[in-house]
Structure 1
Amino acid sequence: MKILLLSAYDAMSHAYWRKGLVAAFPEYDWTVLTLPPRYFNWRLRGNSLSWALGEREVLESGYDLMICTSMTDLSALKGLVPALSSIPTICYFHENQFAYPQADSQHKSVEPKILNLYTALAADQVLFNTAYNRETFFAGVEQLLRKLPDHVPPGVVDQLRERSSVLPVPLPDSVFETHIDAQASQPLQILWNHRWEYDKAPERFFMALTHLKAQGVSFQVHIVGQSFRKIPDVFIKAKESLADELGAWGYIESIEDYRQLLQSCDAVVSSAIHDFQGIAVLEAVAAGCYPLVPDRLAYPELFPQKHRYPSHEQDPAQEARVLAKALSVLALKKASGQPLQAPDVQGLSWHALKPCYQEWIEQLVE
């Protein structure tokens, strides 16, 4: 079987998914085209032009199936390369532009949302990584269609619902490691392992740690994850104010060192206002970390209530206080010798989800 795989904005999470997909099915003949994750607006609107004229011979090589990400300008690409129009197509949504929070500095444009909609309509099957992603997409589409002035056809969302399903990004089997339980005498080991950007709301997390420190709770915190050229000021300030409690800091190049850190931490925390699946948290949980996540986004479908602290998305100070309280409870449990048991996420492994992916691939080709 020949499969064309297109990742139009190949950010870290997208590359994580596509590499796992190709590795899981070595029996298929894969052709992979990617574009770098920069110049967002141009990449989103220009990928069809870049590929249609720059990779035409590859695109016209004949395939049994095409799989693309939601960043792909699929309707335009099929129009520019007619040979693609007859190939069964799966579109995979890692996120949707309707539920993506915008920074104050970002220009609010409807175009990314329109492109998401057109790409979904141009696919034969649409897969979302979580139910939260799917439902916020449909809600956003409905809201957008109500704002359009005229000639809006009925049943757009119903049509999309009929050919959409939820299929998570699987975790590599290698992330399921035996947890290294630290001694009760050691301080609580806290992990924050997200992109260093506004949508992960790091200021809430740091406020919670400030409360924890003021209460005299003993802890060590590890701040790791992908950072970019401009690091938000909140990280610089936190590095100074938490100097005595700071463990690992910054991006860890070695995957082995990173996995060892996950195995050795007690708790992994999210303070995000945007997460469509939360792979960073899930990998830490697979390594044995106890998750503490806000009661919003995709987290209610991923973790039991005891792992979700109350959400106060519009009140960061209040949310920081409830997170600090939850962390202090974990510190007390650890000090008393009680185990901090991570939930079982084996059902999200490639081993568990590969048959689901295979079923969609073969069903669509047939």
Structure 2
Amino acid sequence: MKILLLSAYDAMSHAYWRKGLVTAFPEYDWTVLTLPPRYFNWRLRGNSLSWALGEREVLEAGYDLLVCTSMTDLSALKGMVQALSSIPTICYFHENQFAYPQADTQHKSVEPKILNLYTALAADHVLFNTAYNRETFLGGASQLLKKLPDHVPSGVVEQLRKCSSVLPVPLPDSVFEQHSVPDTLQPLQILWNHRWEYDKAPERFFMALDHLKEQGVAFQVHVVGQSFRKVPDVFARAKEQLSDELGCWGYVERVEDYRKLLQSADVVVSTAIHDFQGIAVLEAVAAGCYPLVPDRLAYPELFPLKHRYRSYEQDPEQEARVLARALSELATTKASGKALKAPDVQGLSWHALKPCYQEWLEQV
């Protein structure tokens, strides 16, 4: 089977899925086109132009299947490249613009939502990484359509629901490593391993650590993850205030070192107000970390209740106190010699999910 794979905004999570997909199915003939994850508004609206005029020979090479991400301007691309219009198409949604929180400095435009909607309608089948992603997309599309002034056809959301399914981004088998035996003489090893951006709500995490310090709870914290040119000010303040408790800080360049860190940490924490699947947390859990996540977003479908602290999305201070209390209890549990057991996420491995992906690739 000859497959064209388009990743129009090839951010780290998109590349993670894309590379895993190609690696999992070497028997297929893959042609892959990507665009860099920058200039968001231009990339979202301009990828059809960039490819239609810049990669026409590749696009017209003849394929059995087209697989694209939700950032692809699929309806415009099929309109400009007629050879693509009749190819069976799967669109994969890592996230959707209806449930993506906006920073105060961002211009609130409806266009990214409209493009998500048109791309989904231009595909034969739509796959979402979580049920949370699917339901917020369908709910958001329904609300948007109700606001439009006239000539809005009925049944759009029902049509999308019928041609959509949930299929998570699989975890590579390499992340399922034996967890290190915890040293009960060491303080609780806390890991925060997310993008250093506002939607991961780092200020809530650092507030919780401040409460732990005030209570005299011993801990060591590892703050790692991808950062960009503009880093929230809270990181610089936290690095200074937590100097005595700091372990690893910043992006871990070597994959081997990162995997060792995951295997040695006791608990991985999320404070996110935006996460459609939470791969960073899931990789840590696969390595043996105990997850502590807010009771919102996709987390209720991923982890049992005991791993979810109460969500106060509109009250960061209250949520930080709840998180601090949960971390304090885990520190006590570790000091007593009891194991902090991670839930089993083997069902999200490529080994487990490959047959599901193969079924969709061949069926569509």
Equivalent residues in 2 for 1:239-254, closer than 5 Å: 239-254=239-254
Q: What amino acid is the match of 2:156?
A: V
**Aligned equivalent of 1:275:** 275
**Aligned equivalent of 2:335:** 335
Q: What amino acid is the match of 2:122?
A: A
Where structure 1 has 5 or more consecutive residues not aligned to the other structure, the ranges are none
**Aligned equivalent of 1:69:** 69
Deviation at 1:232, TM superposition (A): 1.0
Where 1:97 maps in the other structure, the secondary structure is coil
Q: Which moved more, 1:181-190 or 1:148-157?
A: 181-190
**Aligned equivalent of 1:97:** 97
Question: Separation in 2 of the partners of 1:145 and 1:86?
Answer: 27
Deviation at 1:66, TM superposition (A): 0.3
Deviations 1:122-153, CA, capped at 9 Å, x for gaps: 00000000000000000000000000000000
Question: Separation in 1 of the partners of 2:345 and 2:181?
Answer: 19
Deviation at 1:189, TM superposition (A): 0.1
Question: Separation in 2 of the partners of 1:229 and 1:103?
Answer: 16
**Aligned equivalent of 2:293:** 293
Identity of aligned residues (%): 85
Question: Separation in 2 of the partners of 1:183 and 1:39?
Answer: 46
Q: What amino acid is the match of 2:70?
A: S
Deviation at 1:182, TM superposition (A): 2.0
Deviation at 1:181, TM superposition (A): 2.0
Equivalent residues in 2 for 1:4-15, closer than 5 Å: 4-15=4-15
**Aligned equivalent of 1:49:** 49
Question: Separation in 2 of the partners of 1:149 and 1:230?
Answer: 39
Equivalent residues in 2 for 1:81-92, closer than 5 Å: 81-92=81-92
Question: Separation in 1 of the partners of 2:26 and 2:285?
Answer: 28
Give the number of aligned pairs: 364
Q: What amino acid is the match of 2:215?
A: Q
Question: Separation in 1 of the partners of 2:200 and 2:307?
Answer: 18
Deviation at 1:212, TM superposition (A): 0.3
Where 1:221 maps in the other structure, the secondary structure is strand
**Aligned equivalent of 1:318:** 318
Where 1:244 maps in the other structure, the secondary structure is coil
**Aligned equivalent of 1:222:** 222
Q: What amino acid is the match of 1:65?
A: L
Equivalent residues in 2 for 1:27-176, closer than 5 Å: 27-176=27-176
Deviation at 1:231, TM superposition (A): 1.5
Deviation at 1:173, TM superposition (A): 0.1
TM-score (norm 1): 0.99
**Aligned equivalent of 2:179:** 179
Deviation at 1:30, TM superposition (A): 0.2
Deviation at 1:183, TM superposition (A): 1.1
Where 2:33 maps in the other structure, the secondary structure is strand
Q: What amino acid is the match of 1:307?
A: H
Deviation at 1:229, TM superposition (A): 1.2
Where 1:151 maps in the other structure, the secondary structure is coil
**Aligned equivalent of 2:347:** 347
Question: Separation in 1 of the partners of 2:16 and 2:334?
Answer: 33
Structure 1 stretches of at least 4 aligned residues deviating more than 6 Å after TM superposition: none
Q: What amino acid is the match of 1:310?
A: R
Deviations 1:26-79, CA, capped at 9 Å, x for gaps: 000000000000000000000000000000000000000000000000000000
Question: Separation in 2 of the partners of 1:277 and 1:183?
Answer: 31
Question: Separation in 2 of the partners of 1:253 and 1:185?
Answer: 29
Q: What amino acid is the match of 1:177?
A: E
Question: Separation in 2 of the partners of 1:181 and 1:240?
Answer: 30
Question: Separation in 1 of the partners of 2:230 and 2:173?
Answer: 34
Where structure 2 has 5 or more consecutive residues not aligned to the other structure, the ranges are none
Question: Separation in 1 of the partners of 2:48 and 2:66?
Answer: 14
Deviations 1:202-245, CA, capped at 9 Å, x for gaps: 00000000000110000000000000112111000000000000
Question: Separation in 1 of the partners of 2:184 and 2:260?
Answer: 19
Deviations 1:249-300, CA, capped at 9 Å, x for gaps: 0000100000000000000000000000000000000000000000000000
Q: What amino acid is the match of 1:355?
A: P
**Aligned equivalent of 2:356:** 356
**Aligned equivalent of 2:194:** 194
Where 1:232 maps in the other structure, the secondary structure is coil
